A and B are shown apart, each in its own frame.
Chain A
Amino acid sequence: MAVKLGFYFDQTLCTGCKACQIACKDKHDLPLGVNWRRVAEYGGGTWQITGDTFAPNIFANYMTMACNHCDDAVCADVCPTTAMHQREDGVVAVDDDLCVGCRYCEWACPYSAPQYNAETGRMSKCDLCTDFRGEGLDPACVAACPSRALDWGPIDELREKYGDVAAIAPLPDPSVTQPNLVITPHRSAEPVGAATGAINNPREV
């Protein structure tokens, strides 16, 4: 594989607005329930109440998540029809002609990247906006982020530019699938495993 592509996410800038999610839905015309990008709100902590006064010791941050086009793409590994496959550029994609909608890939992916589209009866997922990139444009989510919190590119370049952190709660340990993802953590981010917080908007992800 020549060049592997991935996403960069600056968590310090994310407001949880989901412009990325809606830009993706508008670009790809996705029905309700199919969200190639989703945003989780993660947080925790406690309040101290003393008489009439209170003081917070709390934290919160956001995690936007699409497909990480993993080196170890478990979705492709488990696909019984080879519909889910990794292309030359590392982009993991679905071959509509081969997909039977069995949803194994969805079950296997720890990021919920492959999503079942009930209208087509097939799996669907982020392809890093292949058509946009072909026209020299950024993927829709990257171009839309009001905070400029998203970037994409060859993962080597992203890691050189932004570092190699990806092990941030509530994500799974990167060792599981080797995601092509780089994160600049929010000041309150917790590492994978040491997490004391929880996802606060479970119905939205």
Chain B
Amino acid sequence: MTAISDHPTSTDASPGGISRRSFLKWSAVAGGGVALASGTRQLGLLPGAGLSASAAEEGEDLETLWSACVVNCGSCCPLRMQVADGRVVRVLPDDTGDDDLGSQQIRACVRGLNYRQRMYTPDRLKTPMKRVGKRGGGEWEEISWEQAYDEIAEAVQRIIDEYGNEAIYLNYGTGTIRGTIAKSWPPAITPIARLMNTVGGYLNHYADYSTAQIQGAVAYHYGGWIGANSLDDAKSAKLQVMFGNNPLETRMSGGGELWVSQRTREQSKVRTIVIDPRYSETALGVADEWVPLRPGTDAALVAGMAHVMVSEGLHDQEFLDSHCQGFDEDHMPEDIPAGNSYVAYLMGEGPDGVEKTPQWAASITGVPADTIVRLAREIATTKPTYINQGWGPQRHANGENQARAIFTLVAMTGNIGIRGGSTGEREGSYGLPMANPYASENPVETSIPVFAWTDAVEKGPEMTATNAGIQGAEKLEVPIKMIWNYAGNALTNQHGDINRTIELLEDDSKCEMIVVIDTRMTVSARYADILLPDAMNAEQLDLVAQGSAGNMGYAILGNQVVEPPYDCKTVYEMCSEIAKRLGTEEAFTEGRTQEEWVRHILDASREDIPDLPSFEELKEMGVWRDPNPPEVGYVPLQDFREDPEEHPLPTPSGKIEIFSTQLWEMAETWELPEGDRITALPEHLDTWEGPAEARERDDYPLQCIGHHYKQRTHSTYGNLPWLEEAHPQIVWMNPVDAEERGIANDDTVEVFNERGRIRLPARVTVRIAPGVVSVPQGAWFTPDEQGVDVGGSVNTLTSWRQSPIHKGNAQHTTLVQITRA
């Protein structure tokens, strides 16, 4: 046994050369701010240059208008924007609502409050541009909107004529998702989809980069997406267990799940256990106990706990008998050989012959066996227990099984379909049933896994239903030849293996046309053939749907706070003009302006939500809350719980399939890469670049994950000075691993593997498990002359390789090495 002393000490107290009294703890380490001050960058038109202060000092009348932050964090915050002389000079949080669950004030997080800097950043796109020379070479020609529209329309028509509509792809993008007209996700209801649907459609994708594996898991386990009880319902529980769920960091809104979690915990004092490789803000803020484990081992931890429950008879046999398939040998589908139930797997009576004892689980997960035994007893005997999972556990090469194992734990403890219980999915929430007459139908049915678009560019026609998860068709007929990339960064930065992705894109004989629509020169925008400067949501009128906020429903009318700057235009205008050139303008617009659409959608929504205010009322009030929130947001599967015969699930058996009949068949019929496995049970799987491999390898012995970071929402809000100052890009590593490598806190290090290399400061911290490092995802890929990514994007290190069932992005399954730079 070794006890490692940890925390790094900060030494250089005054790098700015300002001597301070050193006997005071705070001032002894507070020199950084001064150092930065003496090195202040020139900011030009950026906030920080005195605009706001001068506006206020001159006593100028400030107009305050409502807008919102509409990015993809799961929350959505109204913002009050103060305007002077046609410029936003200050961004204020919501000041309506109260501090009660269901009518809470929706205070924006650190990012929304920095909206102004995102509007006026020098990297705003200003005019349409066309690539000159090699794709990605960084040379551009400014072109007119007329030329841009003409060339895009011609490309669309040519590619449809030569290859068919299936060759045109709408890439995943979540830069602006809470609006209704200016909306980049879900793809099927974006303006690009609406445009493409007027000319025969486009190649679909299914799932998303957030939830690909858990979507695959729910499909076979429950028959579809259900969600878990909302987080405010934790007040009905005696115990809350969160697997890799981190609402205090991933849904940071002060009216969203951060606040709901904190308030619920404050009111109910519900005992809370967080299971996570990181001591997340959720662990720090609301947990009584933190259980760190190796990434990708949640299914092993569950199996170890399940073994204890079965051995000691602590599981809910009655619920399992009546509601589940495949827990034990007495509840298996016909024609399945003996030894394939979950109990057989646990007790070493299955094909692998290995008993899943707490000691077995301990060696895989890193969690001591006595802790596993104690947790198993507590979780099994505390009723009700609210178990949920975030989306980190599933973003792995074995992600579908990870997610299904956690669902199985909930079934074993009989906590499904009750107040204070859960399905084991991520929290659900209440939402308003807003109408969307703007949506249209895609005539093309073929759909690829969201993460497989690079494969579809490279080798489309080789992809089939059973070797690549193609849906809606047996195979892909043509490769992707054109990509629309609207408000997204998955064309490069948010995809796996950026260097390989760039190499693919640089060959313009493969994908022949890339149109990027964005507000800023993002990493993906660098790879456009035609680049269109978009208006931000505060520069156009839109109806803004709510974010996840416990049991609260709300809607926002986002005003056009200021005119679009430079030569930027709205995506609605862009698509209308392209439709005009394709001869389908009427089908696209239906004769409506953007404001007429917003009014039309609001009126249509008022049919189902009679209390919803009129356009004029909502414009004035900004944010409207449903005055009658449900007591709890969401308790799914209550009817199934009460009567599983009357209310069966849409699975083949109508039951919860701990043993999935469909997966059993797929394990036989699907073609998988060497070493990959599909299993009918939620078994722990050792995979490529998994924790077992990490401990065997000398070259890349560290598991690398990429947590969601306060600086950014994915990559949105990246590359902005105030947020980079507040939350610099860093790599988290445990002092044990740092000491072995001679690394101290704040040392510059290189993190690398065969796919790429990044350089950034180390955060040597006790807040992460030994053997694990975390590079917060979303930093902007910035290669230097040697190809080292000094922006520190985790996807310089991740791979294209997919999970076996839903072909999802396994970006937390990555091995690396770290050295001092």
Also in contact, A21 and B262, with CB within 8 A (given A143-B95, A146-B253): no
A60 near B107 with CB under 8 A, answer: no
Q: Mark A1-26, 1 if CB is under 8 A from B, else 0.
A: 00000000000111111110111011
Also in contact, A107 and B20, with CB within 8 A (given A118-B38, A199-B10): yes
**In chain A between 170 and 193, which residues have their CB closer than 8 angstroms to a CB of chain B?**
170-172, 176, 192
Partner of A19, one of B6, B21, B110, B766: B110
**In chain A between 56 and 75, which residues have their CB closer than 8 angstroms to a CB of chain B?**
56, 58, 60-61, 65
B40 near A205 with CB under 8 A, answer: no
**In chain B between 354 and 405, which residues have their CB closer than 8 angstroms to a CB of chain A?**
362-369, 371
**A167–B726 CA distance with the chains assembled, in angstroms:** 25
- Kindly list chain A residues whose C-beta atoms are within 8 Å of the C-beta of B745: 200, 202
Also in contact, A112 and B26, with CB within 8 A (given A49-B2, A118-B38): yes
Q: Of A39-47, A85-93, A158-166, which stretch is located at the interface?
A: A39-47
**A43–B766 CA distance with the chains assembled, in angstroms:** 8
B722 near A22 with CB under 8 A, answer: yes
- Kindly list chain B residues whose C-beta atoms are within 8 Å of the C-beta of A117: 37
Q: Mark B154-179, 1 if CB is under 8 A from A, else 0.
A: 00000000000000000000000000
**A60–B366 CA distance with the chains assembled, in angstroms:** 21
- Kindly list chain B residues whose C-beta atoms are within 8 Å of the C-beta of A80: none
Tell whether B292 is near chain A: CB-to-CB under 8 Å: yes
Also in contact, A31 and B736, with CB within 8 A (given A53-B368, A205-B30): no
A46 near B32 with CB under 8 A, answer: no
B110 near A33 with CB under 8 A, answer: no
A21 near B726 with CB under 8 A, answer: yes
Tell whether B281 is near chain A: CB-to-CB under 8 Å: yes
B362 near A53 with CB under 8 A, answer: yes
Tell whether A99 is near chain B: CB-to-CB under 8 Å: no
Tell whether B488 is near chain A: CB-to-CB under 8 Å: no
A32 near B26 with CB under 8 A, answer: no
A143 near B290 with CB under 8 A, answer: no
A146 near B766 with CB under 8 A, answer: no
- Kindly list chain B residues whose C-beta atoms are within 8 Å of the C-beta of A199: 10, 29
**A23–B107 CA distance with the chains assembled, in angstroms:** 11
B32 near A202 with CB under 8 A, answer: yes
Q: Mark B723-737, 1 if CB is under 8 A from A, else 0.
A: 101111000001110
Also in contact, A172 and B37, with CB within 8 A (given A15-B284, A17-B109, A45-B766): no
B770 near A35 with CB under 8 A, answer: no
Nearest CB to that of B723 among chain A residues? A22
**A124–B40 CA distance with the chains assembled, in angstroms:** 15
Partner of A53, one of B93, B284, B363: B363
State the total of A-B contacts with C-beta under 8 angstroms: 268
**A111–B769 CA distance with the chains assembled, in angstroms:** 33
B25 near A43 with CB under 8 A, answer: no
A53 near B253 with CB under 8 A, answer: no
- Kindly list chain B residues whose C-beta atoms are within 8 Å of the C-beta of A51: 363
**A28–B10 CA distance with the chains assembled, in angstroms:** 30
A29 near B33 with CB under 8 A, answer: no
Tell whether A154 is near chain B: CB-to-CB under 8 Å: no
**A131–B322 CA distance with the chains assembled, in angstroms:** 65
A29 near B52 with CB under 8 A, answer: yes
Tell whether B8 is near chain A: CB-to-CB under 8 Å: yes
Instruction: State how many angstroms separate the Cβ of B580 from the closest Cβ of chain A.
Output: 40
Partner of A58, one of B6, B25, B37, B92: B6
Tell whether A153 is near chain B: CB-to-CB under 8 Å: no
Tell whether B186 is near chain A: CB-to-CB under 8 Å: no
**A184–B767 CA distance with the chains assembled, in angstroms:** 23
Instruction: State how many angstroms separate the Cβ of B713 from the closest Cβ of chain A.
Output: 13
Partner of A60, one of B18, B116, B279: B279
- Kindly list chain A residues whose C-beta atoms are within 8 Å of the C-beta of B114: 22, 26
Also in contact, A198 and B107, with CB within 8 A (given A13-B262, A205-B33): no
A197 near B116 with CB under 8 A, answer: no
Instruction: State how many angstroms separate the Cβ of B42 from the closest Cβ of chain A.
Output: 10
B254 near A145 with CB under 8 A, answer: yes
A32 near B722 with CB under 8 A, answer: yes
Nearest CB to that of B361 among chain A residues? A53
B4 near A56 with CB under 8 A, answer: no
B113 near A144 with CB under 8 A, answer: yes
A33 near B36 with CB under 8 A, answer: yes
Interface residues, chain A, with chain B CB atoms under 8 Å away? 12-19, 21-23, 25-35, 38, 40, 43-56, 58, 60-61, 65, 103, 106-112, 115-119, 131, 140, 143-148, 169-172, 176, 192, 195, 197-205
Apart from A16-B710, A26-B91, A29-B51, what are 13 other A-B pairs with CB-CB below 8 Å? A14-B285, A22-B722, A29-B52, A32-B48, A33-B34, A33-B38, A34-B33, A43-B766, A116-B37, A118-B38, A172-B27, A200-B745, A204-B726
Interface residues, chain B, with chain A CB atoms under 8 Å away? 1-10, 18-21, 24-27, 29-41, 43, 47-53, 56, 90-93, 95, 99, 107-110, 113-114, 116, 248-249, 252-255, 258-259, 262, 279, 281, 284-285, 290, 292, 362-369, 371, 710, 721-723, 725-728, 734-736, 745-746, 761, 763, 765-767, 769-770
Closest 6 CB pairs of A and B: A146-B254, A33-B36, A33-B37, A202-B10, A29-B52, A58-B766
